[in-house]
Structure 1
Amino acid sequence: MSKTNLPQAAEPTHPLSRLAFTKRVAKRAQYEAFEFTIVPEGVRVRNGSHANPEEHEYLVTIDEGLPQTCTCPADARFDGACKHRVGVAIRAPILDAANRQVVADGGVETAAGRASQEERQSVDEDDECEECLEEFPCWECVRTGARALPE
């Protein structure tokens, strides 16, 4: 029997594998008391480990699912990612939230751009969603506008 060469789906790579950083930066990214706020520009990182945390607040920008830049002095001064960028990268829920920001029309704006109308309405009224209950729709159908919440 001959084996066919089917294209394999590329395995997703963890953001840390795409960043260069030192062991010291990795340790500090793990143990410092960072506070994260998702903002339209990316992620605001405040270092609560300092006596004056408000003086240690920086903006990390996300591009293609990767923390690309930080406004801290270390990111500009040293080679490799700073502790703030690594701190965002090791916290998957923060990075995911920064990649998927809800926009005013109910769609989701991602790093790749605004979701298309077709993507937002992937379930037509005539199609049955396996996740929806008969009397109550699932969140995805409500979010995309395919189903409405009951009154």
Structure 2
Amino acid sequence: MTSQPLDELSVSTRVRKRAQYEAFEFELLDSDVRVRNASHAVPADHEYLVTIEDALPVDCTCPADANYENACKHRVAVAIRRPILDLANEVQLLADGGTRPQRDDSGQAEIQLNESPESDDCECDLLPDDFPCWECVRTGNQPMPTRNERDR
């Protein structure tokens, strides 16, 4: 079973509900997401930048995220809207020199590994626990492990 981004965040029930029902608007800025709360009379006064790292909203410029321990509603709003989070993560991947995953007929991403032999720059043997080196990930010879795979 795949872990959901919301499972990775510490969040109260109240904030989770607000993230679901408030009228948020999203704008992708590089690999970050601008979140505007259109539920307010002046939405431009309620606009914050959510930072995405490793496919998870980790930071927000809002006062609540700075002052409270749990994730703010803006981070949760991004986490529960998987297409927004996936797009931000894809932009990060492409900006870092990665390649876009191929999509099958259903629109699902399909990881296709190159059949070419490992590069001369391969350093996989030097890394612990079958973790792939960057050259193998970059060239598509090995997939990048997910967060849950790394923690095992």
- TM-score tier (shorter): 0.5 to 0.7
- Please name the residue that 1:67 is paired with: 57
Q: Report deviation, 1:50.
A: 0.3
Question: 1 or 2, which has the higher helix percentage?
Answer: 2
Q: Report deviation, 1:114.
A: 1.8
Q: Report deviation, 1:63.
A: 0.4
User: Cα deviation per residue 1:2-28 (whole Å; 9 max; x = unaligned)?
Assistant: xxxxxxxxx431111100010010000
Q: Matched residues in 2 for 1:91 and 1:26: separation?
A: 12
Q: 2:40 aligns with which of 31, 50, 75?
A: 50
- Please name the residue that 1:25 is paired with: 15
Gaps spanning 5+ residues in structure 1: where?
Answer: 1-10, 103-107, 125-151
Q: Report deviation, 1:123.
A: 8.9
Q: Matched residues in 1 for 2:42 and 2:14: separation?
A: 22
- Please name the residue that 2:124 is paired with: none
State whether structure 2 residue 64 is matched by structure 1 residue 81: no
The one-letter code of the counterpart of 1:53 is P
Pairs aligned (count): 105
User: Cα deviation per residue 1:101-145 (whole Å; 9 max; x = unaligned)?
Assistant: 18xxxxx516xx3216xx9x9599xxxxxxxxxxxxxxxxxxxxx
Structure number with bigger Rg? 1
Q: Matched residues in 2 for 1:75 and 1:62: separation?
A: 14
Q: Give the match's secondary structure for 2:88.
A: helix
Q: Matched residues in 2 for 1:15 and 1:21: separation?
A: 12
Q: Matched residues in 2 for 1:46 and 1:123: separation?
A: 44
- Please name the residue that 2:80 is paired with: 90
Gaps spanning 5+ residues in structure 2: where?
Answer: 100-110, 117-152
State whether structure 2 residue 84 is matched by structure 1 residue 101: no
Q: Matched residues in 2 for 1:79 and 1:31: separation?
A: 22
Q: Give the match's secondary structure for 2:58.
A: strand
Q: Give the match's secondary structure for 2:39.
A: coil
Q: Give the match's secondary structure for 2:94.
A: strand
| CA RMSD of superposed structures (Å) | 2.5
TM-score of the two chains, using structure 2 as the length reference = 0.63
The one-letter code of the counterpart of 1:109 is L
Question: Percent sequence identity over matched residues?
Answer: 54
- Please name the residue that 2:98 is paired with: 115
Q: Matched residues in 2 for 1:52 and 1:43: separation?
A: 19
> Stretches of 4+ moved more than 2 A in 1?
121-124
Q: Matched residues in 1 for 2:98 and 2:91: separation?
A: 11
TM-score of the two chains, using structure 1 as the length reference = 0.63
Q: Matched residues in 2 for 1:32 and 1:25: separation?
A: 10
Q: Give the match's secondary structure for 1:60.
A: strand
